[in-house]
Chain A
Amino acid sequence: MSLISKIKRFLGIETKPANEEAKPAKSGEVGASEQEVEKVAEENAKPRIGYIHLSGCTGDVMSLSENYDILAELLTNMVDIVYGQTLADVWEMPEMDLALVEGSVCLQDEHSLHELMEAREKANMVCAFGSCAATGCFTRYSRGGQQARPDHESFLPIADLIKVDCAIPGCPPSPEIIAKTVVALINGDMDYLQPMIDLAGMTEGCGCDLQKYVVNQALCIGCGTCAMSCQTRAVDMTSGRPEVNGDRCVKCGICYTQCPRSWWPEEQIKKDLGL
């Protein structure tokens, strides 16, 4: 069974053809080892990936390109970049297995709206890539009135307008999480990808999530993971609890995403540690 049909079946996007069970031994293996990556990459058609750039700062794709050690291998042998500004010399959006959408969508920008809708039509899977696409991030603060387009005022996470299959929040997401996600995708490692699928539903992020969903819920244990992970240093710890400086918060949702008391991927962690 090809990787993409495996993913689609998992996501319930398409029912699998009856004859697909032919190679059960291979499709059952989901280890993330490098040999495995190569093997799967050889066996399966390369996933066709498109990159759609909406209202974001390009930081997410820059973070992707920081995976120097695997980037060449990734781009030449493991995936096909079939669409994307600066990445592929293509004007017509082709059919894609996966569309990585960076940036939130501006309601006043016809072109962005059109790109997003078209991506949903042409891609089997849509991934909100980075916090602007996932939660709106700092574009949530926009009130319009700026040059060169004073009318560009309202920016939304893409899941407000289209169905999103998975999200990789981060402002930007780390190079490592991008590499890990791509490897898991190529391996069809659905266990690893489950949190990304769940996070597609998180279309709002804020430092105040820590207070509302952790401290107020009697779950905070003062570990400091939120303060460590905030990419704008908006979170400090006072008396063992997070204290958020709202002026610094860009609403990326990372502090709550990294908090050990928001969701807890126990099996994956044990697997990664060999425990």
Chain B
Amino acid sequence: MVLGTYKEIVSARATDKQIQKVSQDGGIVTGLLAFALEEKIIEGAVVAGPGKELWKPEPMVAMTADEIIAAAGTKYTFSPNVMMLKKAVRQYGIEKLGTVAIPCQTMGIRKMQSYPFGVRFLADKIKLLIGIYCMENFPFASLETFVSEKMGISTDLVEKMDIGKGKLWVYTQDDVLSIPLKETHGYEQSGCNVCLDYVAELGDVSTGSVGSPDGWSTVITRTDGGDTIFKQAIDAGIFETKDMADVKPGLGLLEKLSAQKKEKNQKTIDKRKEMGLPVPF
């Protein structure tokens, strides 16, 4: 199944104007984590918070809705969120934890839950795992190359970065710059080239922009827990939704991109195997 096992797929966005303003797409991640916190489904969440340097995120334990909101927006470089999960439980005393993770991070978390060899009393405390779609991720130096060298501006001026419609977009206060995605190829981390998961197939709920109009997100509910929480949030008016059949570009694009990623990276896997290099998949 090209989109993994799921219960439902809808197009959605947060109704809260403040969340709409700061979030990357439909504010699903921020809206759902804040809702789960409010409803005491979770007591805190690990998010990609602001780091010392602009656009260089650091995993952070958010204990309030404000802290969750402060971490909104996509940073196209490493934020090793998984490393903070244990700290959240041990040092912040969180018994019910939420987090957001790109597909490969969900893999680390799910493997730990099924096989917690050296990890005690953490597996069952993760109550909400929101997966975000991911085609690739970049070392920070690659981002610097795109922005400083290829676009010719300082990363300090950047207010938002986004990948979509075949381009990497950079928004400053009064400008919108872009480079074709082709020019970013070869700058991604190479571990991404064997990754077969585009749509966070192991999240409780997974979300990304692809398939929905600007400002909206495509939301996939997968586990019973994830489906229940997302529906509670809709009932509480946190999100407005549209049928996937009624939105453009629609589910077809998401399926296409997911299939393309699997196909391309399977080739890399096969090539590695031919060379005798290890591949876990």
Residues of A whose CB lies within 8 Å of any CB of B are 63, 131, 168-171, 173-177, 180, 195, 213, 217-225, 227-231, 237, 239-240, 252, 254, 257-266, 268-270, 272-275
Contact = CB atoms under 8 A, between A and B. Distances in A.
B82 interface: yes
Contacts of A175: 120-121
Interface stretch (B148-156, B164-172, B186-194, B252-260): B186-194
Interface hub of A218, A220, A227 (most chain B Cβ within 10 A) = A218
Contacts of B112: 225, 228-229, 258
Contacts of B224: 274
Contacts of A258: 108, 111-112, 115, 117-119
Nearest to B105: A223
Contacts of A213: 278
B80 A223 contact: yes
B18 interface: no
A257 B105 CA distance: 15
Contacts of A231: 118
Nearest to A171: B118
Interface size class of B (residues with CB under 8 A): 35 or more
B118 A262 contact: no
Nearest to B118: A254
A63 B139 CA distance: 39
A231 B116 CA distance: 12
A62 B137 CA distance: 42
Interface stretch (B22-30, B63-71, B83-91, B237-245): B83-91
Identify the 8 closest CB pairs spanning chains A and B, nearest first: A224-B80, A240-B78, A225-B108, A224-B83, A254-B118, A174-B120, A227-B83, A260-B107
Contact of B280 (A222, A237, A264, A268): A264
A220 to B, nearest CB: 5
A168 B113 CA distance: 15
A218 B111 contact: no
B80 A227 contact: yes
B114 interface: yes
B78 A239 contact: yes
A70 to B, nearest CB: 14
B92 to A, nearest CB: 14
Which of A169, A230, A263, A275: most chain B Cβ within 10 A?
A275
A180 to B, nearest CB: 8
Interface of B: 4-5, 59, 77-78, 80-86, 104-105, 107-121, 123-124, 137, 139-140, 189-195, 201-202, 222-224, 277-281
A227 B280 CA distance: 19
Contacts of A195: 115
A272 B115 CA distance: 11
Contacts of A168: 117
Contact of A222 (B78, B121, B124): B78
A225 B83 contact: yes
Given A224-B83, A225-B108, A275-B5, 16 more contacts: A180-B115, A218-B277, A220-B189, A220-B191, A222-B78, A223-B104, A223-B107, A224-B84, A225-B83, A225-B111, A228-B83, A228-B85, A230-B118, A254-B118, A258-B115, A264-B107
29 contacts: A174-B118, A175-B120, A219-B191, A219-B280, A220-B189, A221-B189, A223-B81, A223-B82, A223-B105, A223-B108, A225-B83, A225-B105, A225-B108, A225-B109, A228-B86, A228-B119, A229-B119, A237-B80, A239-B140, A254-B118, A257-B117, A258-B108, A258-B118, A259-B108, A260-B111, A260-B280, A264-B280, A269-B110, A269-B114
Contacts of A169: 117-118
Nearest to B224: A274
By CB atoms of chain A within 10 A, which of B108, B192, B223 has the most? B108
Contacts of A272: 110, 113-114
